[in-house]
Amino acid sequence: MTVNNEYDLEGMKLAGKVVARTLEVLKAAVEPGVTPAELDALAGQVFAQYGALSAPRLEYSAPVNVFISVNEDIVHGLPTHRPLAAGDVVSIDVTPNVGGFVADAAVTVAVPPVSPVAARLIACAEAAFAQAMKAARVGHPLNGIGRAIEAEVARRGFTLLRELRGHGVGRAIHEKPDVPSFYDPRLKKPLHEGLVLAVEPMVSSGRNWRTRTLKDGWTIATSDGGIAAHFEHTVMITRGAPLILTA
């Protein structure tokens, strides 16, 4: 969507606030012995406090409040009843619908103790997002976002999961435009003020950038068993630094 008025801006800010609060609560709850299903239930409690609904449930009939992906699972993981163990890498993807406005963000955390590889992988995803924000300015080409992400991931020696990409967001989860995390020379259209995007680098410790969908029909995992990290925020393009709505 493109924010054109104060009503839309306030709606997106509230949706972003719900995302931020949910991520804060779930991150604090990640510890050995907790199950992803318990984290999902906790997310539902936070949503209820704000009158929010699960956008994946509303739009795609997903059987979850939030997606939780562990280790080699990258995104859209269905919360299981397997307790988290020390060293697990957990990606939490939160996308509520709050009064008709949708915001989307994800973070990856590791259950202590954190392995050096997992720590560097998580830092890579976050750094790639930070570099993308430097390219996300009014008048800059859309493909500058992907160029920045791709370069940072390569610099840090990890694998960019190219089949998964960001997107427009606001009134639905997935809106135009697509926002690849790699440089696509065709995407030269300049970014305009008020445009709302979900920018989401996803990276792997493996060497194969291709993915596979599990038998549950939802969970997308690495094809070679590499662990994955996912970092995402919903941002609004401005003439200066983007407004991170889900911060």
pLDDT band at 221 (very low <50, low <70, confident <90, very high): very high
Instruction: Consult the annotation and say whether 232 binds a ligand.
Output: yes
pLDDT for 7 = 98
| 211-235 core/surface letters (b: 16 or more CB in 10 A; e: else) | beeeeeebbbbbbbebbbbbbbbbb
Q: CA triplet 22, 23, 26: central angle to 5 degrees?
A: 85
pLDDT for 169 = 98
Instruction: Consult the annotation and say whether 184 binds a ligand.
Output: no
pLDDT for 114 = 95
Instruction: Consult the annotation and say whether 93 binds a ligand.
Output: yes
pLDDT for 48 = 98
In Å, how far from its chain's centre is CA 133?
14
Q: What is the mean pLDDT of residues 183-204?
A: 98
Instruction: Consult the annotation and say whether 178 binds a ligand.
Output: no
Q: CA triplet 13, 102, 161: central angle to 5 degrees?
A: 110
Give phi and psi for 164, each to the nearest 5. Answer: -110, 135
pLDDT for 28 = 98
| Percent share of the chain, pLDDT over 70 | 100
Instruction: Consult the annotation and say whether 76 binds a ligand.
Output: yes
Q: CB neighbours (10 Å) of residue 53? A: 17
- The amino acid that residue 143 corresponds to is N
Instruction: Write the pLDDT tens digit of every residue in 16-36.
Output: 999 999 999 999 999 999 999
Q: What topology does CATH give the domain 6-244?
A: Creatine Amidinohydrolase (3.90.230)
Instruction: Consult the annotation and say whether 8 binds a ligand.
Output: no
User: In the beta sheet, which residues pair with residue 179?
Assistant: 166
Instruction: Write the pLDDT tens digit of every residue in 159-169.
Output: 999 999 999 99
Q: By three-state DSSP, how is residue 125 classified?
A: helix
- Return the structure tokens found at 241: 């630094």
Instruction: Consult the annotation and say whether 150 binds a ligand.
Output: no
Q: What is the mean pLDDT of residues 121-130?
A: 98
pLDDT for 56 = 98
pLDDT band at 171 (very low <50, low <70, confident <90, very high): very high
In Å, how far from its chain's centre is CA 63?
18
